[in-house]
């Protein structure tokens, strides 16, 4: 069974020979230092380097997908945020937030995808990766995490309590931009959209604010992707116990969880497909026999797609990633 066929069947609820094993990209980036150390151009800003890195990730690690970009900063760059473009040892990151009032940000920044250099680079990379056999995953930073990459997180969290309508309007504005960005990814050739929203945890937001500020955005995003027949994976960091009932109401193809989440519990609670959740700390530090044991446990727990539980450290060895992917592929 070809890799694209396998994962699309899983996301559509059809039976397959074994679980796919993937690392979507974005926050869950497998372009570790060992893979990119021989690259001459920055794979975060150069189209050819981005394409070749995505291909190299699959070839060297065994992950069954192409995924771009390799960070969580492309979205916020459109809104007056200072960004580090990253290098062979560090992922891109926010250096300085936009300190303007939220309304001023919305008035001053037209988030036109074609005006955002790196977003345009990602779209072109997807066009270059498009193929018939290997799934291409377009990665989106979720609305809460994008909003807290544009403005200081503490500023926004205070507004959730003190000025909830103003905060909601801003997050909604960001979400519309993310939907547009995802649509452009799909038109370029993305087979799947993966949303990572690490700030939208029950531990940070609480159930009430998660339901009020995150859930409506996910629903709008998912509804639009359903209209264009594109499956969506949503990744939530941290302990999801307080928000798992809310997540169960989402019409989403798959939910991905951090290693702290008991996947047997999630399997009993959630009706959707599950992705995860091999510890990224374990993948970085090993040993490989423990990685294999935890991978087996994830599969035995009812995981439909095997993947790292969260973002990989740049120093993660290829050997450790191969231990996971080889085990899954040998499970037939």
| pLDDT at residue 235, as a whole number | 96
pTM surpassing 0.85?
Answer: yes
| pLDDT at residue 115, as a whole number | 65
Q: Which residues contact 159 (CB under 8 A, 6 or more apart)?
A: 102, 166, 167
Length of the chain in terms of residues written: 332
Prior bond of 325 cis (ω within 30°)? no
In what helix (H) or strand (E) does residue 225 lie, and over which residues does it extend?
A: helix 215-227
| pLDDT at residue 331, as a whole number | 66
What are the DSSP calls for 73-115, one per residue? -TTGGGGT-EEE---SSS--EEEE---S-HHHHHHH----GGG
End-to-end CA distance of the chain: 11
| pLDDT at residue 114, as a whole number | 64
Q: Which residues contact 81 (CB under 8 A, 6 or more apart)?
A: 73, 94, 96, 97, 98, 149, 150
| pLDDT at residue 332, as a whole number | 47
Q: Which residues contact 163 (CB under 8 A, 6 or more apart)?
A: none
Contact at 8 Å (CB) between 22 and 65?
yes
Q: For the domain made up of 3-329, give the CATH fold.
A: TIM Barrel (3.20.20)
* pLDDT tens over the chain, length 332 residues: 999 999 999 999 999 999 999 999 999 999 999 999 988 899 999 999 999 999 999 999 999 999 999 999 999 998 999 999 988 888 999 999 999 999 999 998 877 776 678 899 999 999 999 999 999 999 999 999 999 999 999 999 999 999 999 999 999 999 999 999 999 999 999 999 999 999 998 889 999 999 999 999 999 999 999 999 999 999 999 989 999 999 999 999 999 999 999 999 999 999 999 999 999 999 999 999 999 999 999 999 999 999 999 989 999 999 999 999 999 999 64
Contact at 8 Å (CB) between 258 and 236?
yes
Would you list the domain boundaries of the chain?
A: 3-329
Give the CA dihedral 299, 305, 311, 314, nearest 10 degrees. 80
| pLDDT at residue 117, as a whole number | 81
Strands (E), 148-204: 192-196
In what helix (H) or strand (E) does residue 298 lie, and over which residues does it extend?
A: helix 288-300
Query: Tokens at residue 124, please?
Result: 């072109």
Which residue's entry shows tokens 């230092």? 33
Read off φ and ψ for residue 65, nearest 5 degrees: -165, 165
Q: Which residues contact 177 (CB under 8 A, 6 or more apart)?
A: 75, 78, 111
CA 95 to chain centre: 21
């Amino acid at each position: 069974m070809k890799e694209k066929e396998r994962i699309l069947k899983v996301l559509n609820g059809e039976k397959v020979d074994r679980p796919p094993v993937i690392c979507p990209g974005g926050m869950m980036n497998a372009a570790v230092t060992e893979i990119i150390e021989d690259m001459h151009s920055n794979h975060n800003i150069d189209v050819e380097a981005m394409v070749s890195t995505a291909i190299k990730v699959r070839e060297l690690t065994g992950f069954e997908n192409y995924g771009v970009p390799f960070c969580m900063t492309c979205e916020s760059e459109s809104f007056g945020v200072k960004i580090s473009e990253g290098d062979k040892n560090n992922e891109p990151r926010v250096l300085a937030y936009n300190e303007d009032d939220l309304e001023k940000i919305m008035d001053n920044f037209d988030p036109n995808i074609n005006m955002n250099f790196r977003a345009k680079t990602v779209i072109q990379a997807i066009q270059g990766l498009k193929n018939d056999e290997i799934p291409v995953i377009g990665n989106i930073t979720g609305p809460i995490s994008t909003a807290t990459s544009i403005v200081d997180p503490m500023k926004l969290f205070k507004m959730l309590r003190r000025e909830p309508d103003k905060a909601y309007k801003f997050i909604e504005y960001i979400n519309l931009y993310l939907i547009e960005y995802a649509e452009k990814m799909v038109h370029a050739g993305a087979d799947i959209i993966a949303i990572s929203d690490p700030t939208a945890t029950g531990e940070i937001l609480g159930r009430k604010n998660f339901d009020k500020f995150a859930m409506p955005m996910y629903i709008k995003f998912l509804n639009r992707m359903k209209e264009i027949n594109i499956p969506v994976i949503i990744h939530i960091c941290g302990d999801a116990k307080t928000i798992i009932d809310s997540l169960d109401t989402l019409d989403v193809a798959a939910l991905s969880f951090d290693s702290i989440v008991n996947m047997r519990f999630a399997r009993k609670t959630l009706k959707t497909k599950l992705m995860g959740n091999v510890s990224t700390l374990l993948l970085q530090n090993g040993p490989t026999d423990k990685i294999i044991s935890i991978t087996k446990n994830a599969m035995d727990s009812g995981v439909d797609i095997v993947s790292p539980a969260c973002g990989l450290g740049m120093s993660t060895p290829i050997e450790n990633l191969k231990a996971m992917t080889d085990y899954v592929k040998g499970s037939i």
